[in-house]
Structure 1
Amino acid sequence: MSQAPTLDVRAVRAQFPALAEGTAHFDAPGGTQVPFAVVDAVAASLRSAVSNRGGPFPSSARAEQAVADARSAVADLVGGLPDGVVLGQSMTALTYVLAGALAKRWGPGDEVVVTRLDHDANVRPWVQAAERAGAAVRWLDVDPASCLLGDHTAVLSERTRLVAVTGASNVVGTRPDVRAVTDAAHEVGALAYVDGVHLTPHVPVDVAALGADFYALSLYKLSGPHLGAVVADPALLEGLHPDKLLPSSDAVPARFEHGTPPFELHAGVVAAVEHLAGLVPGGGARRERLLRSMAAVQAHEEALLDRLVAGLEGVEGVTTYGAALLRTPTVALRVAGRSPREVAEALAARGVAVGDGDFYARELVRALGLHGDGGVVRAGVVHYTSGDDVDRLLAGVAALAA
């Protein structure tokens, strides 16, 4: 097996103007900082003449091109087809659109499967759509000790219409065996909706290899602008008919995109994907460069995760959650005698940014018995995280625990 190329973290960090402020950012699971290239792309779009689509003039054609370029960039990122890339305000908003369209096919006796590991954006839209359709909801539980999912085959039946599963927990990092879940869903004739928001920033992604019928992601978790995307087979999208305005396009994928899009942010999407594709040297098509870069990102982040976990395990009074062998570089913890908010505030005073709460993974935090107790402290590593950042976080936690 060839070794992944090495990520030059110093060079990567130099691309991020926000890092010059000096904060060690472990808040990336809630949203990443952006590189100069994304800032410049958005600004350049706003400086140029861009009109709404549909006009016979250059500024309108520029808007059309911005959308097409963003679709192609997202398709390259995850191995999809541009005509199957739906762009929108957020992953949550798009999932509600897809849930509404899919639920038109459901009725009493049908079943939808959701998990207690997922972010609520891949739970509540399906629960609410099922309730409106008269379909039943079946829950795939999570083991509180390991934060691993239970037996997915136990909740599937010939009446299952959709299985919603995360690619990685946004709180504890657990990466379920997505392919096993999607294969089992397909065996009973169900569709699989995979939340890739927390997986995509950390590993090379191939939607076909995952078996995902729908793959959702957020660009602002990828050093991009605040937009979401759902990637699917265009032929599958052709059979779905969401509620929409009568004059708006009925073409795929535009029929799923409500309102006038933010063209300047579409330019930022392209720049963000190009940023990721250029993290390590080498030529080739953008998809090839992305796979190479993301392999380097994964190796870099896994090394820092090992360093972080080992350091936390050596601090008396610190409890970490989740024991999955396959995980993204995300750690959930508590410090004895201090609430998660107290820990986050104390670390912020030291120039270390971490989150606290349930992070919309309410079912998981309930399973851990922490929902009414402030949730957890969450620290997430990304490609611009340095070893010095990890050491600062560990020093801060150790001081608090002492």
Structure 2
Amino acid sequence: MTLDVARIRGDFPALDAGVAFFDGPGGTQVPRQVAEAMATTMTSGISNRGTVTAAEQRAEEVVVAARAAVADLLGCDPGGVVFGRSMTQATYDVARALAKEWGAGDEVVVTRLDHDGNVRPWVQAAEAAGAGLRWVGFDRETAELTVDDVREQLSGRTRLVAVTGASNVLGTRPDIPAIAEAVHEAGALLYVDGVHLTPHAPVDVAAMGADFFACSPYKFFGPHHGVVVASPELLERIHPDKLLPSSSQVPERFELGTLPYEVLAGTTAAVDYIAGLASSADDRRTRVRESMRAVEEHEEQLFARLLEGLRGTDGVCLHGAPTCRTPTVFFSVDGHEGREVYEHLAAAGVNAPASNFYAIEASRWIGLGDSGAVRAGLAPYTNDDDVDRLLAGIAEVAG
């Protein structure tokens, strides 16, 4: 199956402005179908969830539909889908709840490759509980992080390992199933940041062995909020702080306050949109998987074109060359600050920002300090013309 990129581009009003968006790793553009679903929910009569009035029932239906949609996207149990303000907020909540059971002698493992949203919550939770902390590095040249790198930091005292499914700056995709096996052999839990992986590959949380998997719908055409999923059985064992009258049921006990129904409706619409990108199978889970395989193929071909152009441009330095990666490149141009490159491209209608993008440990680890570099990432709506414009703009800067 292949993507009809021209048709897809027609669904994104933001593309009408003529901008080439390479900032998808920070948040994709939104198709009109998602915006319409959100608007419809907000104007159709809505109230707190219940079973009496039509407005209450509608709110309940929105929540149930969103959990089912996320389950079809990620291959998980809808009863284990937790919604939050952001991935970072959801991760902090889980970390604080788990840390209630940690103490002196326990250890938590984090990596230098991760976005800080999957680092600092665990670092701070471990410190508050008096637990120890271990760091996993990665190859500074290739940006590879291996199961052996993780295994070196495991012990019989390890309680949790936090690792990314894909680096949001270097694109590295660690072998999560292998890491999960090693972590579970040590008797620990595995928390996977899937924010950057989910927009670029089919995800099967159960198959990868993640105990927790977090993602952000605004990275795959949806609205701004966060999701963390786990088995309902695991969630039953965790007791977060909550208000007295709030539900004690799973997953509701993890969701603070009234859920944003219009946002959840937008997330369902985003999953439906993904499912229809390249498949007409009978069930949505199959459509999602088939469509995401088509996304991978499209992005891999386009990314090869981008990498070839960057490697052929004098003065461009690519950071990392992982074997398995998302279509994301982190690069510098000799003699030019990242901000300068960013601003030059923006003036030409090409959005490719420069920063550490909250992957501050990774940026420091590879010698870029807190400034980071320029990042360009592809999306299903990216086409050859976008790539050519990006390469032309970089060549102008490089001279």
**What secondary structure, in the 3-state scheme, does the structure 1 residue paired with 2:62 have?**
helix
Query: Offset of 1:56 from its aligned partner?
Result: 2.0
Residue 330 (structure 1) aligned to one of 328, 341, 355: 328
Percentage identity across paired residues of the two chains:
59
**What secondary structure, in the 3-state scheme, does the structure 2 residue paired with 1:333 have?**
strand
2:38 is the alignment partner of 1:77: no
Provide the C-alpha distance between the structure 1 equivalents of 2:210 and 2:353, rounded to a whole number of angstroms.
30
2:365 is the alignment partner of 1:375: no
**What secondary structure, in the 3-state scheme, does the structure 1 residue paired with 2:374 have?**
strand
1:276 alignment partner in structure 2: 274
**What secondary structure, in the 3-state scheme, does the structure 1 residue paired with 2:36 have?**
helix
Structure 1 residues 19-70: Cα deviation after superposition (integer angstroms, max 9, x where no partner): 1011000000000100010010001011110001236211011111111111
2:136 alignment partner in structure 1: 140
Provide the C-alpha distance between the structure 2 equivalents of 1:144 and 1:154, rounded to a whole number of angstroms.
17
Provide the C-alpha distance between the structure 1 equivalents of 2:117 and 2:48, rounded to a whole number of angstroms.
30
Residue 389 (structure 2) aligned to one of 385, 388, 392: 392
Residue range with higher mean Cα deviation, 173-182 or 55-64: 55-64
Provide the C-alpha distance between the structure 2 equivalents of 1:283 and 1:233, rounded to a whole number of angstroms.
27
Provide the C-alpha distance between the structure 2 equivalents of 1:164 and 1:140, rounded to a whole number of angstroms.
10
1:292 alignment partner in structure 2: 290
Structure 1 runs (4+) greater than 6 angstroms displaced = none
1:10 alignment partner in structure 2: 6
**What secondary structure, in the 3-state scheme, does the structure 2 residue paired with 1:37 have?**
helix
Provide the C-alpha distance between the structure 2 equivalents of 1:263 and 1:171, rounded to a whole number of angstroms.
31
Provide the C-alpha distance between the structure 1 equivalents of 2:73 and 2:63, rounded to a whole number of angstroms.
16
Q: Partner letter of residue 370 of structure 1?
A: L
Provide the C-alpha distance between the structure 1 equivalents of 2:276 and 2:70, rounded to a whole number of angstroms.
15
Give aligned pairs, total.
Answer: 397
Q: Partner letter of residue 266 of structure 1?
A: L
2:78 is the alignment partner of 1:87: no
Provide the C-alpha distance between the structure 2 equivalents of 1:331 and 1:126, rounded to a whole number of angstroms.
27
Provide the C-alpha distance between the structure 1 equivalents of 2:193 and 2:282, rounded to a whole number of angstroms.
29
Provide the C-alpha distance between the structure 1 equivalents of 2:151 and 2:265, rounded to a whole number of angstroms.
42
Superposed, 1:65-214 pairs within 5 Å as: 65-149=61-145, 151-214=149-212
Q: Partner letter of residue 47 of structure 1?
A: T
2:245 alignment partner in structure 1: 247
Provide the C-alpha distance between the structure 2 equivalents of 1:160 and 1:30, rounded to a whole number of angstroms.
32
Provide the C-alpha distance between the structure 2 equivalents of 1:54 and 1:131, rounded to a whole number of angstroms.
41
Query: Offset of 1:198 from its aligned partner?
Result: 0.2
Query: Offset of 1:248 from its aligned partner?
Result: 0.6
**What secondary structure, in the 3-state scheme, does the structure 2 residue paired with 1:74 have?**
helix
Residue 315 (structure 2) aligned to one of 300, 308, 317: 317
Structure 1 residues 321-345: Cα deviation after superposition (integer angstroms, max 9, x where no partner): 1111100000000011111111000
Residue 44 (structure 1) aligned to one of 40, 45, 48: 40
2:97 is the alignment partner of 1:63: no
1:348 alignment partner in structure 2: 346
Q: Partner letter of residue 118 of structure 2?
A: N
Structure 1 residues 331-363: Cα deviation after superposition (integer angstroms, max 9, x where no partner): 000011111111000000000001211000000
**What secondary structure, in the 3-state scheme, does the structure 2 residue paired with 1:337 have?**
coil
**What secondary structure, in the 3-state scheme, does the structure 1 residue paired with 2:113 have?**
coil
**What secondary structure, in the 3-state scheme, does the structure 1 residue paired with 2:83 have?**
strand
Q: Partner letter of residue 38 of structure 1?
A: V
Structure 2: where are the runs of 5+ without partners? none
Contact (CA 8 Å) 2:73, 2:285: kept in 1 or not? yes
1:28 alignment partner in structure 2: 24
TM-score of the pair, normalised by structure 1: 0.98
Q: Partner letter of residue 68 of structure 1?
A: V
**What secondary structure, in the 3-state scheme, does the structure 2 residue paired with 1:137 have?**
strand
Q: Partner letter of residue 147 of structure 1?
A: A
TM-score of the pair, normalised by structure 2: 0.98
**What secondary structure, in the 3-state scheme, does the structure 2 residue paired with 1:297 have?**
helix
**What secondary structure, in the 3-state scheme, does the structure 2 residue paired with 1:371 have?**
coil
Structure 1 residues 217-267: Cα deviation after superposition (integer angstroms, max 9, x where no partner): 000000000011011100000000001111111100011011111101111
**What secondary structure, in the 3-state scheme, does the structure 1 residue paired with 2:152 have?**
helix
Q: Partner letter of residue 211 of structure 1?
A: G
Residue range with higher mean Cα deviation, 48-57 or 306-315: 48-57
Query: Offset of 1:281 from its aligned partner?
Result: 3.8
Query: Offset of 1:122 from its aligned partner?
Result: 0.3
Structure 1: where are the runs of 5+ without partners? none
Residue 257 (structure 1) aligned to one of 246, 255, 258: 255
2:351 is the alignment partner of 1:357: no
